[in-house]
């Protein structure tokens, strides 16, 4: 049985790996951005770790109390997406029966959510107040939900890639990102560069929800093209440090347009977390 303290340590480690990865347009040890620093994210990870791993909390409670702890620590939305993605993974580990894979347990967790889970999550989202949230015509987070969390995520999945993971049993992570991460780790022996390959592979293929909430599809093709170019050079590099000049250039270009692929950064953390958990249960 994996203890909640062990899970909390792994969660903080996964958040740190993502910060150590140079993710153009996003915050990392290489560059701050969007009025946030690495320290904001480190404080957020530490503050939210206890709640998100609490085995006594339901899925919705894990999410709400982790967001509440973050708000008390940093006073801004640094990790709502990370929490929304990692909480079901922790719930899956804690609910798994002997011999059951994490993804099978995750499927069960995601399909057994309740209206109470939705209520906790709606409160968490309203508290975090993510940029570009706006109002929804159906199941708006500022009102009490009348559906389960799974059903609420189905309503949002066409416009939000984190919601889509709830509907597809984390398909992006299990069928693309983990493969990219493990390939990068084998190739370079670095968790940090493996995380970069996850970030660029996702952005080369899929629009980022955080960008599209703010700008629509205005920058979608441009960002995908930039990330595909980085990903191509990265995959061909014996030493990934060789592409640092390109990463700095693209980072500068994206931040000049106030573009932050925040959803993809969240998916990167969740990928690292999923890899850690899969290694634990082997």
Domains for the chain: give ranges and CATH numbers. 4-169+263-281 (1.10.4200), 176-261 (no CATH)
Direct distance between the N- and C-terminal alpha carbons of the chain, in angstroms, rounded to an integer: 13
The predicted-structure confidence for 93-148, as pLDDT tens digits, reads as follows: 999 887 889 999 999 999 999 999 999 999 999 999 865 444 444 545 666 788 99
The predicted-structure confidence for 79-89, as pLDDT tens digits, reads as follows: 999 999 999 99
Q: Whole-angstrom Cα distance, residue 32 to residue 24?
A: 10
Q: Whole-angstrom Cα distance, residue 148 to residue 124?
A: 15
Token digits of residue 244 = 């640092």
């Amino acid at each position: 049985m994996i203890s909640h303290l062990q899970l909390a340590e792994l969660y903080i480690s996964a958040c740190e790996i993502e910060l150590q990865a140079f993710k153009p347009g996003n915050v990392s040890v290489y560059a701050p951005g969007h009025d946030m620093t690495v320290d904001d994210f480190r404080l957020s990870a530490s503050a939210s770790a206890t709640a998100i791993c609490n085995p006594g909390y339901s899925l919705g409670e894990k999410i709400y109390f982790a967001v509440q702890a973050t708000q008390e620590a940093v006073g801004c939305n640094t990790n709502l997406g990370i929490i929304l993605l990692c909480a079901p993974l922790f719930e899956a580990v804690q609910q798994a029966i002997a011999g059951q894979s994490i993804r099978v347990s995750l499927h069960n967790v995601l399909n057994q959510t309740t209206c109470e889970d939705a209520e906790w999550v709606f409160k968490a989202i309203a508290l975090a107040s993510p940029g570009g949230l706006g109002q929804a015509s159906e199941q708006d987070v500022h009102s009490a939900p009348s559906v389960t969390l799974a059903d609420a995520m189905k309503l949002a999945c066409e416009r939000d890639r984190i919601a889509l993971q709830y509907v597809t049993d984390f398909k992006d992570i299990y069928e693309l990102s983990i493969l990219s991460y493990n390939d990068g780790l084998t190739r370079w022996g670095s968790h940090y560069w493996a995380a970069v390959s996850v970030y660029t592979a996702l952005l080369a293929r899929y629009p980022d929800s955080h960008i599209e909430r703010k700008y629509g599809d205005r920058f979608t093709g441009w960002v995908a093209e930039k990330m595909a170019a980085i990903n191509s050079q990265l995959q061909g590099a014996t030493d990934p440090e060789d592409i640092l000049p390109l990463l700095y250039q693209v980072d500068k270009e994206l931040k000049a347009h106030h573009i932050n692929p925040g959803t993809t950064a969240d998916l990167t953390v969740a990928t690292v977390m999923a890899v850690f958990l899969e290694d634990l249960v082997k």
